[in-house]
Structure 1
Amino acid sequence: MLDFKASEQLSFARTMRALGAAGDMTALFLQYQAINLALWRAFETGSVSKDFLKVERFRKTFMENGLELDPEQASKLYLESLSDTVVLLDGAVQLCETLAAAGEVGIITNGVEAIQNQRIAKSGLKNTISFVATSEACGYAKPDVHFFEYAARMARPFAKEQAIIIGDRLDADILGANRYGIDSCWFNPERLPNASEAVPTYEVSSLHEVIRSLA
């Protein structure tokens, strides 16, 4: 529902400016993004902790670019900015309202719990969302089945055959749905090929297509 890449890029640029860095941050952000993604993959396999990830992504980015900046301060500023930076995907409001009228909408995320709750509160979607399940509170991350079991317990009367997960990540959202035994809808706006073991029930390139796919 949220454009995480846009939010991350804005927050990253604000953090760098606050630390005194100048110039175009595009190339640096792309490098940070690759480092961040690799660390999230490591977190999802249990190789690193989330607290380590939060700082290490900046430490490594700064080290590889010869920047003498404080990674712990960068992490603090970035997370503060990310909480306040909300960019909705096109069709997010309509989709949430339509789904909430037909059933129950929950957010399941590997993100930082405090940040996710603040972002949902600022998004204008809060009235359509019944619960937010985070890996931080659960102790397991997508695609671990334990996380999906945890999220299901947060929902009202839950039946796998009536549930679906909509997500943009094959390795976390769709694979997790496969392992848990529920339908899935892969949000694939860039129309990327699927060379993974994950098998989505549906595939869409825009949120406006979701309702038509489920009808």
Structure 2
Amino acid sequence: MPWSRPVAALLLFAAALLAGCAGPRLVQSDVSSYSTLTALPSPPTYRFERLPSQQMHATAFAAIETQAEAALARVGLRRDDTQPRLIALLGVEGGYAMPRNWPYYGPDPFYGRWGWSLGYGGRWGWGMNWMMDAPPTLYHRKVSLVLRDAATQQVVYETSATYEDVWTRDPAIYGVLFDQALSGFPQPPQGQRSVRTEVMPDTGRPAPPPANPAPAAAPASAR
């Protein structure tokens, strides 16, 4: 029976840990985008709008807004709380679970369970407990963004990115997901797609491009 993608990701992660892999990690999310925009709005300004529940957790949500603001700046939008062209409404989800279809390994002393934790204060770490048949923790993270025209209140852009894997780094992972959700802005592929980003595990930011990329092959001369 074929394994689900989260289970396959858990197996790959365990193999990488045993191999001592310290290179970039691949963050792959399911993105859904819908847009009525034909170009970058003029002026390209926006302000955030918070739901009542987000107001109740203003301190924690401010860290999410910081990640979203940086992602919006990378697609050409500028925050302006006094003269916004757009109204931005954010949404975030976070949780964890044990996958149901984890393969049974039997009494293997080298099989372990790894758990990760990170708080908004910046403290993070990892630990390992040897287990017999329990899988690593599977983390669920999701971001969503709705942009409305400030004058008409019409929704002009809607997007979300959902990520499930055994690796996470809060709150930086939300910034990666906002980048992925905004890929193709202002005219992304409509509907669902998969977006991949390589990130550095120590920072959660995208991996830098190769220092010396291979030169492009010269075109063949006409005969």
**TM tier relative to shorter chain:** under 0.3
Question: Which structure shows the higher helix fraction?
Answer: 1
Q: Which has the higher contact order (CA 8 A, sep 6+)?
A: 2
> Larger radius of gyration, structure 1 or 2?
2
Question: Which structure shows the higher strand fraction?
Answer: 2
* TM-score, with length taken from structure 2: 0.22
